[in-house]
Structure 1
Amino acid sequence: MSHTWDPQRYLTYADERGRPFVELLARVRAEGPRTVVDLGCGPGNLTALLARRWPGVRITGLDSSAEMVEAATREVEGVRFERRDLREWLEAGGEPVDVLVSNATLQWVPGHLDLLPAMLARVAPGGWLALQVPGNVGEPSHTLRTELAAQAPYAEHTRGAAVPASHDPATYLDALARLGAEVDAWETTYLHVLTGEDPVFTWVSGTGARPTLQSLPDDLRPGFEDELRRRLREAYPPGPAGVVLPFRRVFVVAHKPGAVA
Structure 2
Amino acid sequence: MHSAPTSASAAPIWDPQQYLRHAGLRARPFLDLLARIPHLPTEGRPARIADLGCGPGNVTALLADRWPDAHITGFDLSADMLERAEKDYAGTTAGGGWLDFRPADAAHWSPDEPYDLIVSNAALQWVPGHPESFAPWVEGLTPGGTLAFQVPGNFTSPSHALLGELCDAPQWRERLAGQGRRFVHVLDPADYLRRLADLGCATDVWETVYSQLLPGEDPILDWVKGTALRPVLTALEGDPQATDAFLAAYRDLLHAAYPPGPHGTVFPFRRIFAVATKRL
1:234 aligns to 2:252 (yes or no): no
Aligned to 1:220: 242
C-alpha contact (below 8 Å) 2:258/2:265 kept by paired residues: yes
Whether the 8 Å contact between 1:30 and 1:99 is mirrored in structure 2 is no
Counterpart position of 1:61: 74
Mapped contact 1:36–1:100 kept (Cα < 8 A): yes
Distance 2:47 2:233 in 1: 41
1:164 aligned to 2:164? no
Question: TM-score under structure 1 normalisation?
Answer: 0.94
Contact 2:116–2:141 (8 Å) recurs in 1? yes
Structure 2 unpaired stretches of 5+: 1-9, 93-98
Structure 2 residue aligned with 1:18: 27
Partner of 1:52: 65
> Which residue does 1:201 correspond to in 2?
221
Q: What amino acid maps onto 2:160 in structure 1?
A: H
Q: Is the 8 A contact 1:154 1:220 kept in 2?
A: no
- 1:117 aligned residue: 135
Q: How large is the RMSD of aligned CA atoms in angstroms?
A: 1.4
Contact 2:146–2:276 (Cα < 8 Å) also in 1: yes
Write the deviation string for residues 173-230 of structure 1: whole angstroms up to 9, x where unpaired: 0000011000000000001100012000000111012102221251311101001001
Give 1:182's aligned residue: 202
Total equivalences in the alignment: 256
Paired residues of 2:77 and 2:103 also in contact (CA < 8 A): yes
Distance in 1, matches of 2:259 and 2:107, equals 40
Which whole-Å CA distance do the structure 1 matches of 2:149 and 2:65 have between them?
A: 19
Partner of 2:105: 85
Residue 96 of structure 2: aligned partner: none
Find the counterpart in structure 1 of residue 7 from structure 2: none
Deviation digits for residues 136-176 of structure 1, max 9, x if unmatched?
Answer: 00000001111111112211111353621211211100000
1:127 and 2:145 aligned:
yes
CA distance in 2, matches of 1:150, 1:46: 34
Q: Whole-Å Cα distance in 2 between the matches of residues 71 and 251 of structure 1?
A: 26
Q: Work out whether residues 107 and 134 of structure 1, in 8 Å CA contact, stay in contact via their aligned partners in 2.
A: yes
Matched-pair contact (CA < 8 Å) for 2:167–2:178: no
Shift, 1:121, TM fit: 1.5
Q: Is the 8 A contact 1:154 1:216 kept in 2?
A: no
Greater shift in the superposed pair: 234-243 or 173-182: 234-243
Look up the match of 1:249.
271
Compute the TM-score of the two structures, normalised by the length of structure 2. 0.88
3-state secondary structure, aligned to 1:87: coil
CA distance in 2, matches of 1:57, 1:221: 43
